[in-house]
Chains A and B, each alone.
Chain A
Amino acid sequence: MTPLLDVRKLVTEFPVGHGRTLRAVDEVSFQLGRGEVLGLVGESGSGKSVTGFSIMGLVDGPGRVSSGQIMFDGMDLTQANPEARRSLRGRRIAMVFQDPMMTLNPVLRIGTQLTETLHAHLQIGHNEAHARARDALALVGIPSPEERLDAYPHQFSGGMRQRVAIAIALLHQPDLIIADEPTTALDVTIQAQIIAEFQRLTEERGTSVIWITHDLAIASGLADRIAVMYGGRIVEMGQTDDVLSAPRHPYTRGLIRSVPSQNSRGTRLAQIPGVTPNLANMPKGCAFRTRCARADAACESRPGRFGGPQAFHRCFHPHEETA
């Protein structure tokens, strides 16, 4: 069976003037099966969000997808016309954004923001749209949804707003939801609630999810597979348990070691030396080599994929032992 989503050598670039471009996403390839949850992990600036927006077809101009393919259910999105892409957005591929305080339009009622999403893809009457919007709010656990339809976003708390955003994403029962750090801006307790709710709703429907996060702990609790991004590339991908227990790439290993856990109490947390390199002047070859203890002359050429399409790493000197 073909995977739901098959991203092949995706490159997204932003022009920076003088004919030069900045590669935010650099030959990223991965597959996503139906009902599968992929955790896309990386630091800010690693290209994980731009990957998400590239799939949505919403890269901020003047940036654009300059090469590669995004096969969605057998259709290449990079070749699709704008109207075809629009009709996919919100209907078959939905997205939840990072900051719930910013994603809802402040001057439109919640009900409007739900029903317009329905009207964008369906020929339905006002009453039916209203009823479906109300049900959607109820589904994500918003109390007295009928009254809340008339409310404005500022009358909701951050957690409630994110529930509304999730309700909007679920309206058309999409095949794929791209969740771009949807809990980062929330309090920890709310965070856990939202994650649990989100997990339940997508599991029930068999929705595929790309969960973009910088938080390895969240990804490990949610995802079937994990892809680690660094400098615009996926440096390691595999089953969540495999990646966590036996990370091959030094960067992944560094990430795992910098997460505090109970058995590491009292010991000093390991940290990755140096800072994330600027996309404008990436080191040649392996982007991580300037921060890597294992780097040598070989790393000055670009590491290819070691492993299969489902589990691989890009390192000339991978760790063999378990973490």
Chain B
Amino acid sequence: MNANVPILPDASALAESGRLRTGLARFFAAPLAALGAIVLLAVVLVAILAPVLSPQNPYDLMQLDIMDSRLPPGSSSFNGVPYHLGTDGQGRDILSGIMYGLRTSLLVGLVSAVAAALMGTTVGLMAAYVGGRTEGFLMRLVDLQLSFPTILMALMVLAFLGNGVTNVILAIIIAEWATYARTSRGTALVEREKEYIEAARCLRIPAHRILLRHLLPNCLAPIIVIATMQVARAIGLEATLSFLGLGASVTQPSLGMLISNGYQYLLSGLYWISFYPGIALLITIVAINLVGDRLRDVLNPRSTR
């Protein structure tokens, strides 16, 4: 296929089985990315199957025994249930805590990244399509927001709304939407100038149709890449905010909360309470970043040839 031949960009291009297959083949051609994808899959499975896999339900206070608190890795409870990674201050099995914590972390990451992508892409596409003053104003807003660090935006939102998981998700969305807006507008601007959009306008195809059927599909690739990376960022940010005591509730701890719980024991050398949840967090983030990195290479139209 020659890149210079003008073809009507096909909305369902990615779904085309042939291209999808070559895309997958290209993706898995990089061993690190393949490893990342496999690890990520495993992490997601563990999170989904946590109730089945975990030795203990860490949210069920009845199952916790305060007598078993702060046991080192490799210990076991009086009735013989092993604590592979030790227990925390309330006698909670760290391994089970991590499995359940992954659920919260992944959920927060996924929900906030998708919601921010929806919001940002909508704004970006609208700005590019409408143009003029509206575009100028929206993009000024985006520039302004991007000049503040994420954590500051998140702190501001949480200071207004108060703590809690929902508010953390909201804070991440508000802090991150601007990235999508800038990217989708950038891509849409290039697309907007092309003749087929001109043609579509002349044919009086309704605006929402042009936006959804023509502009959006062309912006999808970069958005997917950013969203993937953003899931990792959101998980990290959530963990940070939870660590600071601004995030998830104590009853349903995320990985950040687990790490935070272990902080007070760190100075007494009880490393495992913070260490293992941190490793789980690290593995998740690195796996997502590896996948995202490769996606960028595969989806970048310039790198196809």
Direct A/B contact, Cβ within 8 angstroms:
no
